[in-house]
Structure 1
Amino acid sequence: MCIWSYIGNSLDSSSDSRVQANIEAILRMLEPRNVHELKSLQGKLAYLGRFISNLTGRCQPFSRMMKKDIPFEWDEACDKSFKSIKSYLMKPPVLVALVLSRPLILYVAAQERSVGILLAQKNDERKENVLYYLSRTMTPNELKYSPFKKLCLALIFAIQKLKHYFQSHSIHLVSKANPLKYVMKKPVLSDRLGRWYLQLQQFEITYTLQKAVKGQVLIDFLADHLILAEWELSEDLPDEDLVIEVTLP
């Protein structure tokens, strides 16, 4: 079946052909037997990144084998992730074309080792359609951030990667905690927070507290970005060292 029917009309025909080829190649693949085959898999997945929710999290079991002097060992966690990715690609989400006159909705999530982004837009029926997925692992230094600061990192990551969307649209940021408040209202900014502050000032971003999970798009996104249960939420402005975080409803 042509993958075009799944991913909507956001791609031209040549891009669609490459997407379909990568999906079909992954679905035909056997489990990697060495680092070379694993790199081939990850290259194909990287091309499909905007279509896959929490790609970074899904690929985490593979990451350790890409490090120097680490022996290749395809274990149960790798096998589970590989099968999960294949299952996901059997029924990929519908990504639709952008409507220029409408605002965009941005969901951000921070896990222990990665951040995830979902960019969406409401259609004529007021249902949210997915435009873009993004995710990445944190650097060793970023792993030391407080959970709230990791949420800010996710927002800055979205701005840096999707800047052209932010420049031409108003953005409704939705989450269970307010990263804008953390950066914009802090009395004393570190060098990093100061840089984040300057980036945030460039765009029209409004924050809405996520009080309830509505719609399959958000349900699926949160399911792909599960948060540790012991991380608690507070709407008070935290100190940089205070550990708070988004939790699932």
Structure 2
Amino acid sequence: MNKIQNWPRPTTKNKVRGFLGLCAYVRMFIKDFSQVEAPLKRLTREDVLWKWDEKCEEAFIKLRKIVGKEITLKRFNYDKGSGRIKLAIDSSYIAAGAPLMKEDENGKDRQVLYESVTFSGLESKYSQPKLELCGAAIILKKLQTILWVKPFELQVDAKALIEMINTPCLPNAPMKRWVAFIQLFIFYLVHKPGKTFIMPDGLSKRKKGEDKEESERDDFDEEEDWIKPHPGFGLKEVNTRTVGKLLRNKSNIEIPIKQEGFGKHMQEYLNTLQKPKNIREEYFKKIKRRSMNFYLERGQLKRRNQENPQIVV
């Protein structure tokens, strides 16, 4: 909801069109939508000079409030038969945007939340296919506590992204890690033509506003090598198709680690996947990097065989 409520005031006709396009995605739930949007709609006409007046401001504030708060009231329900979960992701060079939706009893999509993340300077220079893949991985990472082990429909408008996820013969390690992470989820890939992909496109082109969470986000790989700290998870080749599987490595060397200092902190991290208390950020990053070499068994920390890595990509 924050993403819409903090939407920055449009400063050009194109930005007004983008905002109205996002609102139009849920217009069926807004009473008298045409009347409310009229001042902004008029401003987008080519024969009208740009002038942001009080009526435009009033319409913008009202729509932002309605779309960002009043109609986003669909409770996220995991009950069987409660309607399909849908996540639509789109990326621009500015950001990745994604509305999370749930079908209501009438089969209509109701928004549960809006998510968007601003790309770093390095990420914004990626090619468009790589940017789409990066955006999908980052959005799923932010929503992992909601979507983990729950089937959902993943909607994208980039056919290249579908091919990369289904046939991940990718040219570099970061892209392989993103695909490995994405394939840990249970989803149905659905292609949506760009012209019908209004809301995700609008969210992806929204510049960074007042959301502190966006400005503090680290790069995907720097923030957390998410797959590595999870003992047993990896990618395995099955009949020439790469699928997410739960793997068990039988080649582990069971070397008990003394439970003091580094060993104590490593055990706490593997047990909770949270930063141990009273340690520096640099030390925590070291623990995360090395966590792929350790695992827990019956509460005891043990070291893996370094000649047989757990992750196969």
TM-score (ref. length: structure 2): 0.43
Show the counterpart of 1:153.
Answer: 134
Show the counterpart of 1:91.
Answer: 66
1:94-141 alpha-carbon deviations (Å, 9 max, x no partner):
121012134311111112211111111111101000011111221111
User: Quick check: 1:206 aligned with 2:188?
Assistant: yes
Equivalent runs, 1:11-50 vs 2, <5 Å: 48-49=1-2
User: Quick check: 1:172 aligned with 2:125?
Assistant: no
Using the TM superposition, give the Cα deviation of residue 90 of structure 1 relative to its aligned residue in structure 2, in angstroms: 3.5
Q: 1-side partners of 2:92 and 2:126: how far apart?
A: 11
**Higher CA-based Rg:** 2
Contact 1:123 1:129 in 2 (8 A): yes
Show the counterpart of 1:118.
Answer: 99
Q: 2-side partners of 1:136 and 1:90: how far apart?
A: 21
Equivalent runs, 1:193-232 vs 2, <5 Å: 193-211=175-193, 219-223=198-202, 225=204
Structure 1 unaligned blocks of 5 or more: 1-47, 62-75, 228-249
Distance 1:151 1:58, change over 3 A: farther
Q: 1-side partners of 2:140 and 2:198: how far apart?
A: 23
Provide the identity percentage: 15
Q: 2-side partners of 1:221 and 1:111: how far apart?
A: 10
1:30-88 alpha-carbon deviations (Å, 9 max, x no partner):
xxxxxxxxxxxxxxxxxx525x28x6x74898xxxxxxxxxxxxxx9xx99x9586343
Using the TM superposition, give the Cα deviation of residue 172 of structure 1 relative to its aligned residue in structure 2, in angstroms: 0.9
1:15-36 alpha-carbon deviations (Å, 9 max, x no partner):
xxxxxxxxxxxxxxxxxxxxxx
Distance 1:137 1:212, change over 3 A: closer
Distance 1:126 1:212, change over 3 A: farther
Q: 1-side partners of 2:67 and 2:133: how far apart?
A: 28
Instruction: Name the amino acid aligned to 2:131.
Output: K
Q: 1-side partners of 2:121 and 2:9: how far apart?
A: 17
Q: How many positions carry a matched residue from both structures?
A: 159
The alignment's C-alpha RMSD in Å is 3.6
Contact 1:183 1:193 in 2 (8 A): no
Higher-RCO chain (CA-CA 8 Å, sequence separation at least 6): 1
Using the TM superposition, give the Cα deviation of residue 212 of structure 1 relative to its aligned residue in structure 2, in angstroms: 8.0
In the TM superposition, structure 1's runs of 4+ consecutive aligned residues that sit over 6 Å from their partners are: none
